[in-house]
Every structure is written in C-alpha cells, then in structure tokens.
C-alpha cells in the first residue's frame, strides 16, 4: 500500500439535526470522519443516547470503529427559549436581556446567567451566535441589561453568550456538567471535552467524577478563554488526552487578529509535551450553505495541518449544514494534499521534547528516527492504554503506524491521533507471540509485505518504565 492511502490528519464531525440518522452517520464515516462530536449544549440525554446508539450502528455497518467525543456544556451563559426557535435582531434596535425566564422575542430575551447585570458595564460589548451578533450595553439594573444591537442577525434558542473582558466566578464544570459526565460513562463515550477551562485545576472535578464512576475516559481541555491562553503551558502539561483550540470563542474573547498567533503557539506547545490537538470552529463555515468552501477556508485548514494539529473539526458544517458528507470529503482532500509537504524529518527531533530521564519518549523518538536510518516500512505499536501510540505519533513518523490493542475503548480513542491506524487484537501471552502477531497484523493491514523490515515498539509493564521496547522485525 502506498503511504498516501491512509490520511494522517484526523477529522472530527459534529452530529446534529442534519446528521442524526444511521444513514447520515454512515455517510460521514465513509466520507472520512474518524470521530463524532456530541455537543451536550444542545439536545437531551435521550437525544444523545440515541446518537450514541446510531453511531455504533453506523460504525458496525462500515467496519470502522468510530470514536465518540462528548463536549460538556460548561457554564450556562446562554439565552433561553425564543419564539419559533429563532428570532431576528435588527441593527440599531433596542433589546433587553433579563435573568428571569420568558419566551424570547426581538425586543426581549432571557439569559440563564443570573450574574449578567453585575458582569457587564455600560459601554461594554455582548456577543451572540458565535460572535456574529454584537450588542452594546446601555444600562444595567438588578435583573436586566438594556442594549443596542450594533450588528444584527438571527439568534436561536439556547445559543451561547460571550462577554469579552468580563470576569466570572462560574466553575468550568458545574452540577449539570458532572451529570453529563455520568451520562458519558454510562453510554461508553470515548473522550470528554471540558469547556470554559481557565486553569489546570478546572479539569479536576471532571477527572474525579470520571474516576469515581469507575471509568478511565480521557479528558480534553478546550482552550477558548484568554485566561487559558495565558496559562496554556500548565493546562497542556496537566492533560495527556489532548487540547481543543476553539477559535470561534477565542476570536470573540481576544482581538481577532491574535487568534492565528495563539493557534500556532498552542499547537507548538502541545507538540512539545506530546499532547494531541484538535483545531476547531468555522474551518469550512461557508459549507453550511455552499457545496464548496472558500479558498481562504482551504488555506486555513491546511495551515493548521502545517502547524502540527492532530485533528481538524467540523461543527455547524455537519451538525446543521446542507452538505455534511461533502464537508468531510473536502476536509479529507485538503489533508491528503497537504500532508506530503510536512517536515517529517525535522519533526522527529524538534517537535516533542525529550530528556535523559524520559525513557518512554526517547524510545518513541528512536523508533521514529529508525524509520529513516533503517528504511523501515512501518511501525507497529502494541498498546493497552494508548500511551505508546501517543508518544510515537507526537514525533510524526512518515511511515504508516499501526496501533494494536486488546481494548476496544483504546482502539476508538486512538482515532484522535495523527498518523495512527488502530485494530483490535487478542491479549498476548509473551514477547514472541506479540512480535509474530504484530508482523501478521502489519501484513493484513497492507502496510508491510513479506521481507519488509518493520519497527515494533511497546511498554513492558513489569519494567515500570513506560515505552521501553523497540524491536526491528523482518516480516515473514
């Protein structure tokens, strides 16, 4: 098989009204989706339980174990229900935001954030609909905020609100979020994204809830607040499952011209600590309505790949868009066209840091480096938890990487890693059966043929050193 047959960059597709059937989900997988994102800010538990069931059904039909990412709602900075689901706000008109519940109109909307009048000041800005609508605060009372609509548009029930520069004491994970964690554990969801992260300890309540529920679901930190960008290194060092760069919210909370610089810095930092990344929001936004993206959007996706992202994400494009499967196909084509020009040889030694005490990362880097010096056809990575595959992926090997695991949950989670394919395999009884099995699996996957040299890297648990085995093996 040629190196180009398998795309390395992973694609996350958000499930929504446009894709909430097994047939539509199957189309997304066949188009190239690797993970499905369920946005818990929208829909009931019953809705998302049905989504999980349909996703597993679609995966079974296609023969690909799709990963499912649950995205926690975060603090309730949202508008309430509005008439007919959507109302239009006219530029220059007045609008009142009130903290008590009502059915929203173009003149008055309810908000779920009781501290809103204290959080904003006259002259301040409030954004809605992912920043497309801008309000200017005129006056605040005990339970109301009167505003002028400066940039109008349509708002829908339960859409988010952004308050640039306004402080908030809201926790990243409140009671509702922890209930969603319980739901995710019960449903066997593969990854969890935590919204509104501002510091590393914001992840702790979710991690504790996952562990006390008897689960090991990895937790991803969403970087969407200025405070998170200021503490990016401590947040990235606190997570191993990954970070999501939510450019939509960052572009509201920060001066928009700074977002590309922040993205580049976050991707470099995550690479340094071998942490996977998802670059998200408005990547192919025009494809919500159009069958083709803009040239600028294509460049944006390619740029994230050039900067080292593991995955790119589609939000509205697949949740409510008119061309969800085509959006995935376009993302697939962009990635395949971009990946041959990535600096793989340089990244082996410059992307992820290692030191003399870091056995696991050093072995992973040596394994990737050997693909050049020894002409290895592929790397095979036996793994229980997925850690070894993550470390190998961080060094960005150019050859195919096949992770093999006896754990179905690990197989699904590894869909988030750049360049890694994964298959399920039986637990091995010793080193010799492991090596022989890896060689056979490489042949079956089409990444190596008889006579090829492959590298096999793994962690032997009895040594307690993490990834500590590297074997060069000739495929029989």
Residue-wise burial string across 85-98, b where 16 or more C-beta atoms lie within 10 A, e elsewhere = eebebeeeeebbbb
Helix, strand, or coil (residue 249): helix
Question: CB neighbours of 13 closer than 8 A, spacing ≥ 6?
Answer: 19, 28, 33, 35, 36, 37, 313, 314, 318, 324, 327, 328
CA distance 333 to 340: 12
Q: How far apart are the C-alpha atoms of 381 and 389, rounded to whole Å?
A: 6
Q: What DSSP character marks residue 111?
A: B
In the 8-state DSSP scheme, what is residue 428? P
How far is it, in rounded angstroms, from Cα 282 to Cα 301?
10
Give strand pairing partners of 71: 39, 193
Cα dihedral 167, 173, 176, 180 sign: positive
Token pair for residue 312? Answer: 């790119």
Could you give the dihedral angle defined by the CA atoms of residues 15, 16, 21 and 22, in that order, rounded to the nearest 10 degrees? Answer: 0
At residue 46, the 3 state secondary structure works out as: helix
| Local structure of 118: helix, strand or coil | helix
The token pair that represents 150 in the structure block: 């400066």
Ramachandran angles phi, psi of 273, nearest 5° = -100, 15
Measured from the Cβ of residue 429, the count of other Cβ atoms closer than 10 Å reads: 8
Q: Does residue 373 contact residue 416 with C-beta atoms inside 8 Å?
A: no
Question: Residues, the chain, total?
Answer: 476
Please give the Cα distance from 274 to 242 (Å, whole number): 9
Sign of the torsion formed by the C-alpha atoms of 56, 61, 67 and 72: negative
What dihedral do alpha carbons 425, 427, 432, 435 form, nearest 10°?
A: 30
User: Which tokens hold the place of 282?
Assistant: 């408005």
Burial (CB < 10 A; 0-12, 13-18, 19+), residue 285, is: buried
Q: Which residues are known to be catalytic?
A: 37, 78, 222, 281
């Amino acid at each position: 098989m040629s190196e180009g047959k398998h795309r390395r960059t992973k694609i996350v597709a958000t499930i929504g009204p446009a894709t909430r059937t097994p047939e539509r989900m199957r189309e997304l997988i066949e188009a190239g989706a690797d993970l499905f994102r369920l946005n818990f800010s929208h829909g009931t538990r019953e809705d998302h339980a049905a989504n999980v069931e349909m996703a597993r059904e679609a995966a079974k039909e296609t023969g690909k174990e799709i990963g499912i990412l649950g995205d926690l709602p975060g603090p309730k900075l949202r508008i309430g229900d509005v008439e007919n689901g959507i109302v239009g706000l006219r530029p220059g008109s007045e609008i009142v935001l009130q903290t008590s519940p009502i059915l929203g109109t173009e003149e008055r909307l309810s908000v779920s954030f009781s501290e809103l009048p204290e959080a904003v000041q006259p002259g301040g800005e409030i954004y809605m609909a992912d920043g497309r609508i801008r309000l200017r605060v005129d006056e605040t009372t005990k339970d109301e905020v009167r505003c002028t609509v400066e940039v109008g548009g349509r708002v829908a029930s339960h859409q988010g609100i952004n308050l640039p520069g306004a402080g908030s004491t809201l926790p990243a994970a409140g009671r509702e979020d922890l209930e969603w964690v319980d739901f995710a554990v019960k449903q066997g969801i593969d990854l969890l994204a935590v919204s509104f992260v501002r510091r590393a300890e914001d992840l702790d309540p979710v991690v504790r809830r996952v562990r006390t529920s008897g689960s090991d679901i990895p937790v991803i930190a969403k970087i969407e607040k200025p405070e998170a960008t200021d503490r990016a290194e401590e947040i990235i060092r606190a997570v191993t499952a990954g970070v999501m760069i939510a450019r939509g919210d960052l572009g509201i909370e920060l001066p928009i011209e700074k977002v590309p610089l922040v993205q580049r810095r976050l991707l470099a930092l995550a690479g340094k600590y071998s942490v996977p990344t998802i670059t998200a929001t408005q990547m192919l936004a025009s494809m919500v309505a159009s069958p083709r993206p803009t040239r600028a959007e294509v460049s944006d996706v390619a740029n994230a790949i050039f900067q080292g992202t593991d995955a790119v994400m589609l939000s509205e494009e697949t949740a409510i868009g008119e061309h969800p499967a085509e959006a995935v196909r376009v993302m697939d084509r962009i990635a395949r066209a971009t990946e041959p020009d990535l600096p793989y040889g340089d990244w082996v030694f410059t992307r992820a840091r290692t030191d003399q005490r870091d056995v696991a990362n050093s072995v992973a880097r040596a394994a990737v480096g050997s693909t050049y010096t020894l002409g290895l056809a592929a790397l095979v990575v036996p793994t229980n938890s997925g850690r070894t595959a993550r470390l190998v992926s961080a060094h960005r090997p150019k050859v195919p990487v096949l992770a093999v695991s006896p754990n179905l949950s690990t197989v699904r989670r590894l869909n988030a890693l750049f360049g890694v394919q994964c298959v399920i395999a039986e637990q091995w009884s010793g080193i010799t059966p492991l090596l022989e099995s890896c060689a056979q699996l490489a042949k079956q996957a089409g990444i190596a043929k008889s006579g090829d040299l492959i590298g096999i890297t793994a962690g032997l648990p009895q040594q307690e050193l993490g990834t500590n085995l590297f074997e060069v093996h000739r495929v029989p």
